[in-house]
Structures are given as C-alpha cells and as structure tokens.
Amino acid sequence: MQRAVLITGSSSGIGLAAAMALHQRGYHVFAACRKKEDVERMNQLGMQGIQLDLDDSMSVQSAAELVLSLTGGRLYGLFNNGGFGLYGELQSISRQQLERQFSTNLFGTHELTLRLLPSMLKSGEGRIIQTSSVLGFISTAGRGAYAASKHALEGWSDALRLELFGTGLHVSLIEPGPITTNFTQNVEQAQTGKTVSNPGIAKRFTLTPEDVVPKIIHALESPTPKLRYRVTMVTHVMALMKRLLPSRCLDALLRKN
C-alpha cells in the first residue's frame, strides 16, 4: 500500500525538496502550502496540493479533515516543516508579533498534529517529524523571537516522543542550520533600518535543501530513526560547543558573530 505523507511549508526550500523526493520515491505526498497558486503548482507537479495556513485554526481543521478523508484515515507520515522567522531585538517586538511567531511555528503545528494523531495511533505505525533549527538549542541577539519558538518546538517534540513511546509512532527533529532557501529573504524584520542578517562565516558552510532530504528519508524509513538530525557543519559545531563550553564563553563567541 502506498504510504501517505503530509508536508507543511511545501512551496519552497526544504519542504519542496522533500515533497519532490518523496513523490519520486513512491509516497502519496500531500503538499500543504499557504497560497492558492502554490497549491495548484503542487497539483501540476503530480502531488496532492493542500491549502493550509498554520496561523488560522479553521484552515488547520479543514486541511486535516481533507487529508484524513483522502487517505481513509491512513496517514503514515507528518512532516511539520512550515514556519517563518521574525527577526529584531526583543525590545522592538510586540506581544502581538510574538504571538504570531508562536502561532505559526508552534501552535499551528500542535493543532494540526493533534487533529491527525488519533488516526495515526489507530494504524499503530507512523512518523512525526519537525523542522527545527540551530536556533532550537542556542539563541542569538536579534533572533530571540524565532529562537524562542524553535526552543519551544523542540521541547514540545521531546515531550510528544516520550508520550508516544510504545505506540509504533516515532518523533524526530530536523536541525538544518544554514540552508540556501528563500527563508532569509522572507524573514520579517521588526526594526526598520536595523536589518538582522546571518554572519558571513555561515555562507561557507551553507548547504542546499536537497542535502536535508536524506535525513528526512531516514526519519521516515529507518526502523530506529534518530531523535535529532543535525545537517550542516554549523549545527554540529554549535551543538558540541553548547555541550562543552561554559555559558559565558559561548555568549562571548555568539556576541562576536
């Protein structure tokens, strides 16, 4: 039986690369996008386009119901990849802006997962994967709102993994680091005239969305998927530094970059 996978944030970057690769691999791919034109593009590419705005509870409910209907309640994989970045010093970010950052990056993911989870539990097998970030375990000046949402996503994912132990469902996190996508161009800057940009050194270690795909495939298909998949050199190095360096030393390093 063809396995069905729902991927959020499929219009570009990691989501699109994953959707294309899994479609070619024989999966029934439900490619969720926020814009109607992107949904139609997914249909033209041979996948099942689904309209989904994670910041809209009604949209989440409609998308979940449609996926369950089209799969007969047999969804195998959920790749929670959708999200956006809000950059700027925390003192410049309003409560409403922070709520919207969490609404898309965490609350929408939570609601979508909970609407799909009962049918996945009935199947007794499945995979739930989240796209986190190197900012899911460190934080930097100017990226506090985004980092907070990804830290929360990591904590949520860890708890979900523990709660689903023994059900046949596995939960994994993807921690990419610098990837050549439209994410940076689409970042919402909270401070006019004070743009937060990635440090120049990150460009030396930037990979492509296609470099993330093998990690996603392993998380979907391995009998023992990893809890975390670190993709770029930046993510691996920062994870090591986080573990080994005193916090003040790490702070000094992050202030420099």
Instruction: Tell me the catalytic residues.
Output: 146
- Angle, helices 57-71 vs 108-123, to 10°: value is 20
- CA–CA gap between residue 39 and residue 31 (Å, rounded): 7
Distance of alpha carbon 125 from the chain centroid: 21
Q: Is 17 exposed, middle or buried (0-12, 13-18, 19+ CB in 10 A)?
A: buried
| Element containing residue 111 per DSSP (H, E) | helix 108-123
Q: Are 150 and 133 in contact (CB under 8 A)?
A: yes
Q: Are 131 and 83 in contact (CB under 8 A)?
A: yes
- CA–CA gap between residue 84 and residue 208 (Å, rounded): 18
